[in-house]
């Protein structure tokens, strides 16, 4: 099986875009959107506080580029705030099964307002801060919880060669309604073919999906 280091070297064609062009675009766009969306952020936070109380924000450790953990931020959409690590326990031996589909734990009840926020990706607005910090990009594989990525095979780990994104190729090809194997397939396609034009295509398709609310979890 191809070693991760060798695989990453194959991405040298995209070095300037990943490390310079894409990061520059992420900084400019995330900073601009944080300024523009700040009034909306306050409105959504106030509505959440009125209908669901505290805490307003939800934070959780996720796996980032090169298997490095980082804290992701979202608007809280659940009635009960509990640690994911105490809920998701997996005992896979060699890799995450191809037919695995992430399911919502029964004790993580999504509020009615939370369902609306998730359907239209409002809950992900705080992730603009993650993009500005450099933990994430606008486009990339969806950041996975550590309880799942620790079971990745070498091949599955290749999706961690790029920064996770607010949206990505897998998200516009099924969102939350695809199997883990399908997600890996789409994410590896993105890792191998990442380009400015592909990112623009994904962003455009994401806008369409957000407006329709299709495939929301």
The continuous run of DSSP H or E covering 184 comes out as helix 180-193
Q: Report the C-alpha gap between 172 and 164 in whole angstroms.
A: 14
Compute the distance between CA of residue 135 and CA of residue 149 in angstroms, rounded to an integer. Answer: 17
- Which pLDDT score is estimated for 86? 47
Q: CA-CA distance, 109 to 52, in Å (whole number)?
A: 12
Q: How confident is the model at residue 85 (pLDDT cuts 50, 70, 90)?
A: very low
Question: How does the average pLDDT of the chain come out, rounded?
Answer: 85
Judged by phi (left if over 0) then psi (alpha if -120 to 50, else beta), residue 171 lies in alpha
Q: 203: Cβ–Cβ under 8 A, 6 or more apart, which residues?
A: 138, 139, 167
d(CA 148, CA 91): 10
pLDDT value, residue 103? 62
In 3D space, the residue among 197, 137, 138, 201 whose CA is nearest the CA of residue 173 turns out to be 201
Residues linked to residue 137 through DSSP beta bridges, in sequence order: 165
Check residues 217 and 118 and name the one with the higher pLDDT: 118
Q: Which residues contact 87 (CB under 8 A, 6 or more apart)?
A: 105, 107, 108
Q: What is the mean pLDDT of residues 130-135?
A: 97
* pLDDT interval class at 4 (50, 70, 90): low
């Amino acid at each position: 099986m191809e070693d991760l280091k060798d695989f990453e070297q194959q991405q040298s064609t995209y070095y300037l875009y990943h490390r310079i062009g894409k990061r520059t675009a992420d900084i400019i766009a995330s900073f601009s959107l944080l300024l523009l969306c700040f009034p909306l952020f306050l409105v959504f936070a106030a509505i959440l506080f009125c209908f669901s109380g505290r805490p307003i924000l939800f934070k959780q450790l996720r796996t980032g580029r090169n298997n490095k953990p980082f804290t992701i931020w979202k608007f809280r959409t659940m009635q009960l705030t509990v640690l994911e690590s105490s809920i998701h326990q997996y005992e896979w031996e060699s890799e995450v099964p191809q037919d695995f589909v992430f399911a919502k734990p029964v004790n993580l009840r999504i509020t009615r307002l939370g369902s609306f926020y998730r359907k239209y990706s409002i809950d992900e607005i705080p992730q603009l801060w993650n993009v500005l910090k450099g933990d994430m990009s606008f486009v990339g594989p969806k950041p996975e919880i550590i309880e799942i990525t620790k079971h990745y095979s070498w091949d599955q780990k290749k999706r961690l060669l790029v920064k996770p994104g607010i949206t990505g190729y897998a998200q516009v090809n099924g969102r939350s309604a695809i199997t883990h194997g399908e997600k890996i397939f789409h994410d590896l396609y993105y890792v191998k073919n990442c380009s400015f034009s592909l990112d623009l295509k994904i962003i455009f398709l994401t806008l369409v999906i957000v407006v329709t609310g299709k495939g929301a979890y």
